[in-house]
Chain A
Amino acid sequence: MAGIWQELPRFLTWYNGIFLLNALLNTLLLSIIGCLAGGTIGLSLAIIRCARGRAMAVPRAFAWAFTEFFRRLPPLVVLMLAFFGASVARVDLTLFQVALIGLCLIATASLAEIVRGGIVSVHPNQWDSAAALNFGYLRCVLTVILPQAWRVIIPPAISFMLLFIKDTAFASQLGTLELTYAGKVLTTKGFSAALSYGTVLLLYFALSYALAGLGRRLETSIGIPADR
């Protein structure tokens, strides 16, 4: 442990600071873009999956298969699928973009399932009233069902997003420069693992803890009792 104090002056350089900050920013970007894209696509998939009627059978089956497949895979498998998929398809993407695609797939599947849970939680009589008033499916979902489903969707969605920040760590296995990868780089530069990964853990903690607090504030502000 004493070793850490000795290497600390060498560690706390301007250069390392910028390096870690950049990595932290990338982790944040992966998390935010992943959640936004995953939220948007997941919402669409959930809406498709809840549609009735034979005309929607094929899109519905696709949405079902996509959701059930990707949320039953470890993040690392999805990321590797994205990585090798991109190389097989010969599309020229940066490692960051590849990781982002993989992470979006993960977030999409999980958030689609969470939104679906919210949609089915709304009392069926709301669909009846809307249908009797000539609402189409999409209008009913958007103006009647989702506004009531949010209270059910938001708590698990926030929980997922907080877990998702930690899942972005697997992007390091593709060589994407984010916090975890930065830790690896620091150890190869000769800093002790305790200091390198300790710092990385600390940065993750700050990020996740701050966002968890934000999530709790959001929940209480929309009137969901905080019990976590």
Chain B
Amino acid sequence: MPTRLRRSSRIAELKTLVKRAWRRRIGFRIGVIIVVFAITMAILGPFIAPYPEEGWGIASPETQLRGPQPPSWEHPFGTDLVGRDMLSRVLVGAGYALMQITIVVVVSLVIGLIVGVLAAYSRGLIERILNYFTELFMAFPAIIIAIALNTFGIRGLFVVIISLIITWWSWYARIAYVYARSIREMEYVTLAELAGLPSYKIIYRHILPNTLTPVIVQAITDTGSVLLEAAAINFLGLGLPPDYPDWGVLVQNGFNYIYSYPWISLIPGFFILLVALGFSLLGDNLREELDPKMRHRWKLWF
């Protein structure tokens, strides 16, 4: 249970949490390594790619001549249908993947926190209305919204981002609400209120900082799911156009030729799995560290 702590100590709490998880959990360390690896790839990808232009999706007569080739020393991940080097495409794609999920998670998190904390703070009708809308949006899967937008010919990055935000903000709002609510019910918040502390100060000083840690931990876990959904939207051809170096799009590129050139789909898909796994490992291990019950040593004792 969150207790009365100042904001600085909340950040310190997150820090010690991370430190403890790092020291005690292999899963967490693997997660950190994967995520750091992914971020490095996103930043350096375009520079270390052996064929940068091909990575960005440019096909030339030279690549046309090459055609689809299985993995080799020259092209460790093989080449795609028009002969572009898959390693370069995957490397450049890391940036796209991280960009999409960062925008979605950050925007959703901010909206969700605002709505959730407001709902928890303002009892009565406003609380109900905000909860109503939260639950309403939770019922809409991102992919259905993406399909709806496509039905009317709207495409591109916009579709991926908007459809994911429309569904994900509500999920964060729900979590923020649950935590903020439990803090709101605590004695010291009531006391602060009775003492005449203005609402915005109560929210800013007490409720928000205590809600932040669990919601951020949840956000890290869910980042993996956001990536999976974004990839699914792109794979179905609902988001980024066919020549973009997005991993979902890359899987789509190879999809019609999986019997002949399976590597075109399978290798980028593996990177989606890897990065999603990295975030899940981070979040899950942090969450288990937050829950003292699961920390004890254990064996079946009867």
Q: Do A and B bind each other?
A: no
